[in-house]
């Protein structure tokens, strides 16, 4: 028979914890639908698994496992390098979707956040449970993979709830039922309790979260520091840890850099490389519905010295032809005709979600709307016919030249031949047949 509830009432506070399921691997599957249902592992650049899809987990792949070990137990694993820039952009989409319902959002990690829904039932004319369900539906559908959500009276219990049914779970723990979720939960599974503290509690016979929650308050205060006393309070249903709504700024840039050989002092060629980088950066920004307030460009010399400048735009922008007008004077200022350059780089900074753009006195609303429609069509053409099927004239020389000349630029013979239905950027995953056919 279950013990008496630790707390009474339903939700004096309504806190949700939102956690992306296998976030990095899920991002890769969302961006490349052909990977869905396959064992995907990220971390190739480090030589160890940093994230695994649930299909890979089911085959025994664990975090930190070395690549050769992964290949032994899961030969068909798709092992990819981590693309943290893309993961960060999708993380911003996660936060923005949750902020449709409440401004009180804590960006706790790249793949998770807390949000306070307290007091919003009357505004949205729905229960807290329905709000949590709606948030989950919108996250799953708009980002293309699943999230697990926990709804509870505080952050510690919300964390317990979000882990309860993974993947794609929605768990609701009202105050009166907290004890049911703690009674068989190891104390080390509680958010904030590490191995050392768990070992200390174990020595005092406390192995389950419910055992800890039932300890005498004076005992907890005497033997444990303040953070663990606060955890003890939240395990008993109190709201102690506030929602930190300060926005994180570490995921607010898109960088595109391109190295080419041999190094060049040709102004038009180097400018074309920079133009192509700008197009690629803007393409990615539009894909995630973002626009930049600032742009940084730099050129890398043959001697690996970097020189660059930054400019602030009159309004958030993701249209390369407009940004190009702004950065051309910067390029002309830093480019020296007697210097050989080996790389160009464009970084879009201070990214904002594209909503209603505040125009300046000199902007024409009709012109801005027209260019929005033009780039929407351009992006659709690129999706259909290839990334660089449409590009700015200023990027022409970059498209005409190989990225690397000489031995470094030599391509396998298969890549020199385009088969029916292929483009230079999109090829079938088959080798070229070089033998003789016997009839």
**How far is C-alpha 232 from the geometric centre of its chain's CA atoms?**
33
Decide the pairing of beta strands 253-264 and 78-80. Answer: unpaired
Q: What is the pLDDT of residues 268-286, one digit of tens each?
A: 999 999 999 999 999 888 8
In the set 28, 107, 112, 279, the catalytic residue is 112
* Predicted local distance difference test score (pLDDT) of residue 417: 59
Query: CA–CA separation, 39 vs 53, rounded Å?
Result: 6
Query: CA–CA separation, 291 vs 283, rounded Å?
Result: 10
Domains identified in the chain and CATH numbers? 15-172 (3.30.70.270), 175-235 (1.10.150.810), 253-400 (3.30.1490.100)
Residue whose tokens read 């660089």: 388
Higher pLDDT, 214 or 419: 214
Higher pLDDT, 86 or 24: 24
Return the bridge partners of 209, or none: none
Of the pLDDT bands very low, low, confident and very high (cuts 50, 70, 90), residue 186 is very high
SS3 (DSSP) at 42: strand
Structure token digits, residue 303: 């001697």
Q: Using alpha carbons, select from 353, 254, 359, 283 the residue that is nearest to residue 314.
A: 359
Q: Is the pLDDT of residue 427 over 70?
A: no
Predicted model pTM: 0.64
Of the pLDDT bands very low, low, confident and very high (cuts 50, 70, 90), residue 381 is confident
End-to-end CA distance of the chain: 79
Structure token digits, residue 229: 């006393």
Q: What is the pLDDT of residues 404-425, one digit of tens each?
A: 554 444 444 445 556 655 665 5
Higher pLDDT, 182 or 410: 182
Active-site annotation holds for 112? yes
How does the average pLDDT of the chain come out, rounded?
A: 85
Q: What is the pLDDT of residues 295-308, one digit of tens each?
A: 999 999 998 888 88
* Predicted local distance difference test score (pLDDT) of residue 135: 97
């Amino acid at each position: 028979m279950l013990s008496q509830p630790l707390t009474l009432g339903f939700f004096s506070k309504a806190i949700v914890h939102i956690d992306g399921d296998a976030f990095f691997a899920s991002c890769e599957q969302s961006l490349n639908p052909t990977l869905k249902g396959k064992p995907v592992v990220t971390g190739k650049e480090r030589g160890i698994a940093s994230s695994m899809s649930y299909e890979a987990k089911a085959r025994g792949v664990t975090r930190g496992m070395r690549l050769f070990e992964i290949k032994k137990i899961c030969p068909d694993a798709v092992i990819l390098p981590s693309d943290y820039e893309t993961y960060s952009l999708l993380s911003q989409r996660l936060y923005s979707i949750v902020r449709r319902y409440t401004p009180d959002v804590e960006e706790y990690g790249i793949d998770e956040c807390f949000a306070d829904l307290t007091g919003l039932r009357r505004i949205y004319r729905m229960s807290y449970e329905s709000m949590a369900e709606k948030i989950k539906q919108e996250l799953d559908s708009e980002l293309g993979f699943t999230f697990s959500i926990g709804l509870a009276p505080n952050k510690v219990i919300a964390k317990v709830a979000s882990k309860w049914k993974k993947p794609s779970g929605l768990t609701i723990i009202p105050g009166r039922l907290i004890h049911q979720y703690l009674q068989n939960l190891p104390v080390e599974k509680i958010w904030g309790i590490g191995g050392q503290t768990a070992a200390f509690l174990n020595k005092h016979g406390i192995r389950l979260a419910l055992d800890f929650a039932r300890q005498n308050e004076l005992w907890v205060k005497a033997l444990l520091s303040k953070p663990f006393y606060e955890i003890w309070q939240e395990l008993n249903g109190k709201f102690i840890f506030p929602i930190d709504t300060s926005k994180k700024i570490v995921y607010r840039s898109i960088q595109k850099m391109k190295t080419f050989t041999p190094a060049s002092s040709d102004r038009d060629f180097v400018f074309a490389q920079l133009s192509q980088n700008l197009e690629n950066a803007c393409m990615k920004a539009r894909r995630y519905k973002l626009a930049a307030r600032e742009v940084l460009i730099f050129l890398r010399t043959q001697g690996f010295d970097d020189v660059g400048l930054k400019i602030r735009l009159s309004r958030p922008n993701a249209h390369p032809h407009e940004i190009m007008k702004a950065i051309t004077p910067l390029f002309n200022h830093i480019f020296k005709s007697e210097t050989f350059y080996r790389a160009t780089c464009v970084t879009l900074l201070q990214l904002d979600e594209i909503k209603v753009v505040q125009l300046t006195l000199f902007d024409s609303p009709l012109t801005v709307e027209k260019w929005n429609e033009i780039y929407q069509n351009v992006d659709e053409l690129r999706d259909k016919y290839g990334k660089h099927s449409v590009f700015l004239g200023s990027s022409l020389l970059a498209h005409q030249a190989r990225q690397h000349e000489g031995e470094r630029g030599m391509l396998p013979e298969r890549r020199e031949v385009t088969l029916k239905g292929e483009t230079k950027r999109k090829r079938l995953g088959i080798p070229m047949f070089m033998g003789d056919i016997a009839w």
